[in-house]
Structure 1
Amino acid sequence: MRLVQNSLHDEVAATLREEIFGGVLVPGAFIDEASVCERLQISRTPLREALKVLTAEGLLRHEPRRGCFVAEVTQRDLDEIFPVIALLEGRCAWEAARHASDDDLAALEALHDRLAKHARARRINDYYATNFAIHEAIIMLADNRWLAQVIGDLRKILKLARQQQLHAPGRLEQSLSEHLAVFAALKARDSDGAEAAMRTHLNRQREALRAVALQQKAKLIS
């Protein structure tokens, strides 16, 4: 019976996580437990276990006597997270350049070809999905479970805001160029070059998000 309960709360957590990332549950939204239980046809116990999981992941915040709310990623959060993830994913690129086989590089090349096609067609959602797959592939090639674990936790937080940066003027083309620079270094087995290119890519993502935030602020003021 306990195994069934564990499985159920994992499924509930996965459903709510998908709704958060998909924008169904927007940043700052209150999680109405009664409404969620009715909608998902579950009891309070698995829901509350799921809420604990999502709170631990940083996707929800819990306020005593008020309940759970979808986390809001602040500019300070982004300023603090991006330098860390740039270091971590940079190290992944360094290790991936040492470990990648010819077959691995061929698979990465196919992903980059797909990325370029999405960029040319300005299919931002498809571009982001392929971009995510490339980052995941490089993390896997690094073959360092500790790096993968920490990056995975941070990426869940960044996913709440990261896609916005592709809407900054010129960012889509710049992002593609950065990805191609990382891949060129990987293909050349240049560990230091791959690390530097990946750090540049992540740091420029932060710059693009800052530009988007400033644009949004300017619109509100005007």
Structure 2
Amino acid sequence: MTAVVFDLDGTLIDSAPDIAANANAVLEEMGMSPLPEAQLRGFIGKGVGHLIGQVLAASGQAADGPFHAPMVQRFNARYDTAFENTVIYPSVVPALEALIDAGCVLGICTNKPIAPTHAVLRHLRLDGYFGVVYGGDSLSQRKPDPAPLLAAAKDLGHAQVIYVGDSEVDAETAANAKVPFLIYTEGYRKTPVHDLPHDAAFNDFKQLSGLVAALMKG
């Protein structure tokens, strides 16, 4: 059997509108101007601390200066309920069901903190599909360190692992873990797909089960 482990933001769900709104609310509370959602979308993927550092730098402040810690705290305080405008990408649920029907077990490995990860999965009714969930603060290491992905794979108890993500961080994580990587091209990636290590790319979740089956046979 095969374990298929997924990134979350930009892979299974489009959470950028809520993450951007949360970041801009914090900026306004700190007396700074909001940033465009398109710009904030590019900061997603390496955890809250990195996100806030990028937000500060884009606002003309020191990324690791005195505003960083209080802004992280304010951001996290509302993160568990920041999903009003978050949506599941098209065809995700049928794809997950098809993988389970094919005998795969599923997990999550994301840099999103574990509490808002569980909250948004429950809110979107996705939590029942995954046997294990690792967030950015589940271990002392976070992606692109392979430790969370390898821990998720170990917990799922399967030797063959496939990672599915959308970003540079996800591609690097899979490479570091030495597992096959499938990249969803409609997420938050900034680098051209052909410049990232991957086994296959897809732009529609209807394609996923076939790609996983091909890797399983390989």
**Shorter-chain-normalised TM-score: which range?**
under 0.3
- Tell me the TM-score normalised to structure 2 length: 0.23
- Tell me the TM-score normalised to structure 1 length: 0.22
